[in-house]
């Protein structure tokens, strides 16, 4: 998953506000100045980067080489459905209306 960069020319329609202690604001102001951005730009970019990290860590599945090989082999040569799976398919067909 790629990190998303906030577009500076993109129209901003939503507002997010936060109350922070003065010391926190001072730290953010200093970092934003070093980064060459306004406080708002810095906060939004930092939030987007952190949000992407959180999403990546919760939405991505990391497999070992062995697990990836087993998974790909199962996709290439799936096992025959067992009796329980076949019964579940029949039950689904009886209970769920198709919207095709």
Give the model confidence (pLDDT) of 8-55 as tens digits.
566 778 999 999 999 999 999 999 999 999 999 999 999 999 999 999
Confidence band (pLDDT; 50, 70, 90) for 1?
A: very low
Distance separating alpha carbons of residues 28 and 14, to the nearest angstrom: 21
**41/32 Cα distance (integer angstroms):** 8
* Torsion angle of the four alpha carbons 24, 29, 30, 35, in this order, in degrees rounded to the nearest 10: 130
Sequence spans of domains, the chain: 22-95
Q: Does residue 7 carry a pLDDT above 90? A: no
Which CB contacts under 8 angstroms, 24+ apart, belong to 28-31? none
The stretch 58-67 carries a mean pLDDT of 92
Q: In sequence order, what E strands does the chain have?
A: none
Question: Which pLDDT value is given to residue 5?
Answer: 58
**pLDDT (average), residues 71-91:** 95
Nearest-angstrom CA–CA distance, 12 and 36: 20
Residue 36 φ/ψ region, left for φ over 0, alpha for ψ in the -120 to 50 degree band, beta for the rest: left
């Amino acid at each position: 998953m790629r990190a998303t960069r906030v577009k500076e020319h993109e129209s901003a329609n939503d507002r997010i506000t936060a109350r922070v202690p003065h010391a926190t604001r001072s730290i953010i102001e200093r970092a934003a100045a070093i980064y060459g951005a306004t406080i708002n730009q810095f906060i939004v970019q930092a939030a987007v980067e952190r949000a992407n990290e959180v999403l990546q860590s919760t939405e991505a599945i990391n497999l070992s080489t062995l697990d990836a090989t087993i998974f790909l082999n199962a996709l290439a040569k799936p096992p025959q459905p067992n009796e329980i799976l076949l019964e579940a398919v029949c039950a689904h067909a009886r209970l769920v209306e198709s919207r095709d």
